[in-house]
Homo-oligomer: A and B are copies of this chain.
Protein backbone atom coordinates (compact mmCIF):
# COMPACT_ATOMS: atom_id res chain seq x y z
CA UNK A 1 0.00 0.00 0.00
CA UNK A 2 1.58 3.30 -1.06
CA UNK A 3 1.21 6.48 0.90
CA UNK A 4 1.51 10.17 0.33
CA UNK A 5 3.04 11.47 3.52
CA UNK A 6 3.96 14.70 5.23
CA UNK A 7 6.07 15.27 8.27
CA UNK A 8 5.61 18.52 10.19
CA UNK A 9 7.68 19.65 13.14
CA UNK A 10 8.47 22.76 15.13
CA UNK A 11 11.83 23.00 16.86
CA UNK A 12 12.34 24.42 20.32
CA UNK A 13 15.08 26.91 20.98
CA UNK A 14 14.12 29.94 18.91
CA UNK A 15 14.19 32.22 21.94
CA UNK A 16 13.22 35.86 22.04
CA UNK A 17 13.73 37.83 18.82
CA UNK A 18 15.00 41.43 18.95
CA UNK A 19 15.23 44.21 16.35
CA UNK A 20 18.06 43.58 13.94
CA UNK A 21 18.24 39.83 14.52
CA UNK A 22 19.20 37.81 11.45
CA UNK A 23 16.20 35.55 10.88
CA UNK A 24 17.89 33.57 8.14
CA UNK A 25 20.68 32.60 10.53
CA UNK A 26 18.15 31.91 13.27
CA UNK A 27 16.12 29.56 11.04
CA UNK A 28 19.27 27.72 9.95
CA UNK A 29 20.33 27.42 13.59
CA UNK A 30 17.14 25.75 14.80
CA UNK A 31 16.56 23.78 11.56
CA UNK A 32 20.05 22.59 10.62
CA UNK A 33 18.65 19.52 8.88
CA UNK A 34 16.55 21.36 6.26
CA UNK A 35 16.48 19.57 2.91
CA UNK A 36 15.55 20.46 -0.66
CA UNK A 37 11.78 20.70 -0.97
CA UNK A 38 11.06 21.49 2.66
CA UNK A 39 8.72 24.39 3.45
CA UNK A 40 9.73 26.61 6.39
CA UNK A 41 6.77 28.29 8.06
CA UNK A 42 7.42 31.30 10.28
CA UNK A 43 5.07 33.26 12.53
CA UNK A 44 5.15 36.80 11.12
CA UNK A 45 5.34 38.19 14.66
CA UNK A 46 9.02 37.28 14.96
CA UNK A 47 9.66 38.82 11.56
CA UNK A 48 8.01 42.02 12.78
CA UNK A 49 10.19 41.93 15.88
CA UNK A 50 13.39 41.40 13.88
CA UNK A 51 12.39 44.23 11.56
CA UNK A 52 11.67 46.56 14.47
CA UNK A 53 7.98 47.02 13.55
CA UNK A 54 7.12 48.06 17.10
CA UNK A 55 4.83 50.91 18.18
CA UNK A 56 3.92 52.22 21.62
CA UNK A 57 0.65 50.70 22.82
CA UNK A 58 -0.70 54.20 23.43
CA UNK A 59 -0.49 54.75 19.68
CA UNK A 60 -2.33 51.54 18.81
CA UNK A 61 -5.49 53.12 17.38
CA UNK A 62 -3.44 55.53 15.29
CA UNK A 63 -1.30 52.63 14.07
CA UNK A 64 -4.41 50.72 12.99
CA UNK A 65 -5.61 53.80 11.10
CA UNK A 66 -2.23 54.13 9.39
CA UNK A 67 -2.30 50.48 8.28
CA UNK A 68 -5.89 50.75 6.98
CA UNK A 69 -6.75 51.10 3.31
CA UNK A 70 -10.50 50.58 3.75
CA UNK A 71 -12.77 49.95 6.72
CA UNK A 72 -14.79 46.80 6.05
CA UNK A 73 -16.84 46.56 9.27
CA UNK A 74 -16.81 47.80 12.84
CA UNK A 75 -18.25 46.46 16.05
CA UNK A 76 -18.81 48.46 19.24
CA UNK A 77 -17.07 47.15 22.37
CA UNK A 78 -18.11 48.45 25.80
CA UNK A 79 -15.32 50.54 27.32
CA UNK A 80 -13.01 50.06 24.35
CA UNK A 81 -12.56 51.67 20.96
CA UNK A 82 -14.72 49.96 18.32
CA UNK A 83 -13.24 46.82 16.80
CA UNK A 84 -12.30 47.70 13.25
CA UNK A 85 -12.14 44.99 10.60
CA UNK A 86 -10.27 46.54 7.73
CA UNK A 87 -8.43 45.84 4.53
CA UNK A 88 -4.84 46.75 5.29
CA UNK A 89 -2.09 47.92 2.97
CA UNK A 90 -1.18 44.26 2.29
CA UNK A 91 -4.73 43.54 1.05
CA UNK A 92 -5.49 41.46 4.14
CA UNK A 93 -8.91 41.82 5.74
CA UNK A 94 -8.21 41.55 9.45
CA UNK A 95 -9.37 42.78 12.82
CA UNK A 96 -7.29 45.78 13.92
CA UNK A 97 -5.46 45.67 10.55
CA UNK A 98 -3.28 42.91 11.98
CA UNK A 99 -1.79 45.20 14.64
CA UNK A 100 -1.11 42.82 17.49
CA UNK A 101 -0.73 43.18 21.25
CA UNK A 102 -0.09 39.55 22.28
CA UNK A 103 3.39 38.15 22.76
CA UNK A 104 4.85 41.67 22.61
CA UNK A 105 6.85 43.52 25.26
CA UNK A 106 4.73 45.47 27.74
CA UNK A 107 3.55 48.82 26.48
CA UNK A 108 4.06 47.96 22.83
CA UNK A 109 2.18 46.57 19.87
CA UNK A 110 3.55 45.10 16.66
CA UNK A 111 2.76 45.99 13.09
CA UNK A 112 2.87 43.33 10.40
CA UNK A 113 6.12 43.17 8.41
CA UNK A 114 6.55 45.99 5.90
CA UNK A 115 6.60 43.55 2.95
CA UNK A 116 6.09 39.93 4.06
CA UNK A 117 6.83 38.50 0.60
CA UNK A 118 10.17 40.31 0.56
CA UNK A 119 10.91 39.06 4.09
CA UNK A 120 10.14 35.51 2.94
CA UNK A 121 12.45 35.91 -0.05
CA UNK A 122 15.29 37.13 2.16
CA UNK A 123 14.94 34.19 4.55
CA UNK A 124 14.77 31.76 1.62
CA UNK A 125 17.97 33.21 0.16
CA UNK A 126 19.70 32.98 3.54
CA UNK A 127 18.75 29.30 3.89
CA UNK A 128 20.08 28.64 0.38
CA UNK A 129 23.32 30.46 1.19
CA UNK A 130 23.94 28.94 4.63
CA UNK A 131 22.69 25.39 4.13
CA UNK A 132 22.79 24.98 0.37
CA UNK A 133 19.18 23.79 0.12
CA UNK A 134 16.17 24.98 -1.87
CA UNK A 135 13.20 25.45 0.44
CA UNK A 136 9.93 27.33 0.33
CA UNK A 137 9.21 29.95 3.00
CA UNK A 138 5.79 31.00 4.29
CA UNK A 139 5.11 33.78 6.79
CA UNK A 140 1.88 33.38 8.74
CA UNK A 141 -0.58 35.39 10.76
CA UNK A 142 -3.66 34.38 12.68
CA UNK A 143 -7.03 35.67 11.49
CA UNK A 144 -10.75 35.41 12.07
CA UNK A 145 -13.15 34.43 9.31
CA UNK A 146 -16.63 35.24 8.18
CA UNK A 147 -19.26 32.65 9.23
CA UNK A 148 -16.91 30.46 11.30
CA UNK A 149 -15.90 30.63 14.93
CA UNK A 150 -12.27 30.35 15.86
CA UNK A 151 -9.13 31.64 14.23
CA UNK A 152 -6.82 29.89 11.78
CA UNK A 153 -3.36 30.69 10.49
CA UNK A 154 -3.05 32.10 6.98
CA UNK A 155 -0.14 32.78 4.64
CA UNK A 156 0.69 36.51 4.49
CA UNK A 157 4.07 36.13 2.82
CA UNK A 158 5.67 33.44 0.74
CA UNK A 159 8.65 32.71 -1.48
CA UNK A 160 9.53 29.64 -3.48
CA UNK A 161 6.26 27.87 -2.77
CA UNK A 162 3.09 27.83 -4.87
CA UNK A 163 0.39 29.87 -3.06
CA UNK A 164 -2.59 28.75 -5.17
CA UNK A 165 -2.89 25.50 -7.13
CA UNK A 166 -5.18 25.84 -10.11
CA UNK A 167 -6.64 22.42 -10.80
CA UNK A 168 -9.04 23.73 -13.44
CA UNK A 169 -8.55 21.68 -16.56
CA UNK A 170 -7.69 18.63 -14.49
CA UNK A 171 -10.20 15.81 -14.37
CA UNK A 172 -12.13 14.18 -11.59
CA UNK A 173 -12.24 10.42 -11.08
CA UNK A 174 -15.15 10.22 -13.54
CA UNK A 175 -13.15 11.92 -16.28
CA UNK A 176 -15.05 15.21 -16.08
CA UNK A 177 -13.18 18.46 -16.12
CA UNK A 178 -12.77 20.17 -12.76
CA UNK A 179 -14.09 23.67 -13.21
CA UNK A 180 -13.86 25.54 -9.96
CA UNK A 181 -11.05 24.06 -7.96
CA UNK A 182 -8.33 26.51 -7.10
CA UNK A 183 -6.84 25.44 -3.78
CA UNK A 184 -5.14 27.90 -1.43
CA UNK A 185 -2.33 25.55 -0.50
CA UNK A 186 -0.22 28.25 1.15
CA UNK A 187 -3.07 28.90 3.59
CA UNK A 188 -3.50 25.18 4.18
CA UNK A 189 0.21 24.84 4.93
CA UNK A 190 0.02 27.78 7.36
CA UNK A 191 -2.91 26.13 9.16
CA UNK A 192 -1.19 22.74 9.24
CA UNK A 193 1.90 24.12 10.90
CA UNK A 194 -0.11 26.11 13.48
CA UNK A 195 -1.09 22.73 14.90
CA UNK A 196 2.50 22.16 16.02
CA UNK A 197 3.55 25.76 16.63
CA UNK A 198 0.62 26.72 18.84
CA UNK A 199 0.12 30.14 20.37
CA UNK A 200 1.86 29.82 23.70
CA UNK A 201 4.58 27.30 23.06
CA UNK A 202 7.50 29.48 22.04
CA UNK A 203 7.81 27.64 18.72
CA UNK A 204 7.36 30.28 16.01
CA UNK A 205 9.10 28.23 13.31
CA UNK A 206 7.87 25.00 11.74
CA UNK A 207 8.91 22.79 8.86
CA UNK A 208 6.82 20.72 6.44
CA UNK A 209 8.57 17.89 4.63
CA UNK A 210 6.81 16.12 1.77
CA UNK A 211 5.52 19.02 -0.35
CA UNK A 212 8.52 19.29 -2.65
CA UNK A 213 6.16 19.37 -5.65
CA UNK A 214 4.99 22.80 -4.42
CA UNK A 215 8.51 24.24 -4.03
CA UNK A 216 9.69 26.21 -7.04
CA UNK A 217 13.02 27.33 -8.44
CA UNK A 218 11.99 30.96 -8.56
CA UNK A 219 10.46 32.93 -5.71
CA UNK A 220 7.05 33.03 -7.42
CA UNK A 221 4.21 35.53 -7.01
CA UNK A 222 4.16 35.62 -3.22
CA UNK A 223 1.18 35.70 -0.91
CA UNK A 224 0.04 38.91 -2.58
CA UNK A 225 -2.10 36.79 -4.91
CA UNK A 226 -4.20 35.38 -2.06
CA UNK A 227 -6.34 38.37 -1.05
CA UNK A 228 -9.46 39.03 -3.13
CA UNK A 229 -9.64 42.79 -3.11
CA UNK A 230 -12.30 45.42 -2.99
CA UNK A 231 -15.46 45.20 -5.03
CA UNK A 232 -14.69 41.82 -6.59
CA UNK A 233 -15.57 40.26 -3.24
CA UNK A 234 -19.23 39.68 -2.40
CA UNK A 235 -18.42 40.57 1.24
CA UNK A 236 -16.37 43.68 0.60
CA UNK A 237 -18.39 45.56 3.22
CA UNK A 238 -20.01 44.40 6.45
CA UNK A 239 -23.75 43.79 6.44
CA UNK A 240 -24.57 46.68 8.79
CA UNK A 241 -22.31 49.09 6.90
CA UNK A 242 -23.77 48.16 3.50
CA UNK A 243 -27.30 48.40 4.87
CA UNK A 244 -26.63 51.85 6.34
CA UNK A 245 -25.11 53.08 3.09
CA UNK A 246 -28.12 51.75 1.19
CA UNK A 247 -30.52 53.33 3.65
CA UNK A 248 -28.83 56.70 3.24
CA UNK A 249 -28.88 56.48 -0.54
CA UNK A 250 -32.49 55.29 -0.52
CA UNK A 251 -33.54 58.18 1.69
CA UNK A 252 -31.74 60.69 -0.53
CA UNK A 253 -33.13 59.25 -3.76
CA UNK A 254 -36.72 60.15 -2.99
A239 touching B234 by the CB < 8 A rule? yes
- Quick one: which of A71-128 are within 8 Å of B by CB? 73, 75, 85, 87, 92-93, 102-106
A103 touching B172 by the CB < 8 A rule? yes
Overall SS of chain A's interface: mixed
A148 touching B184 by the CB < 8 A rule? yes
Which candidate, A18-26, A61-69, A130-138, A150-158, is the interface stretch facing chain B?
A150-158
Q: Residues 162-195 of chain A: 1 if any B CB is under 8 Å from the residue's CB, otherwise 0? A: 0110010011111010111111110111011011
A103 touching B145 by the CB < 8 A rule? no
Q: Once bound together, how far apart are the Cα atoms of A16 and B173, in whole Å? A: 9
A179's closest neighbor in chain B, by CB?
B102
Q: Residues 228-254 of chain A: 1 if any B CB is under 8 Å from the residue's CB, otherwise 0? A: 100001111111111111111111111
Question: A-B pairs with the 6 shortest C-beta distances?
Answer: A250-B250, A246-B246, A150-B184, A192-B192, A242-B242, A247-B250
Q: List 28 A-B contacts (CB under 8 A).
A: A5-B9, A6-B6, A6-B7, A73-B235, A92-B147, A93-B147, A102-B179, A105-B174, A106-B176, A145-B146, A147-B228, A149-B164, A149-B226, A149-B227, A150-B187, A150-B226, A172-B199, A191-B191, A192-B192, A235-B238, A235-B239, A239-B239, A243-B243, A243-B249, A246-B250, A247-B247, A250-B252, A251-B254
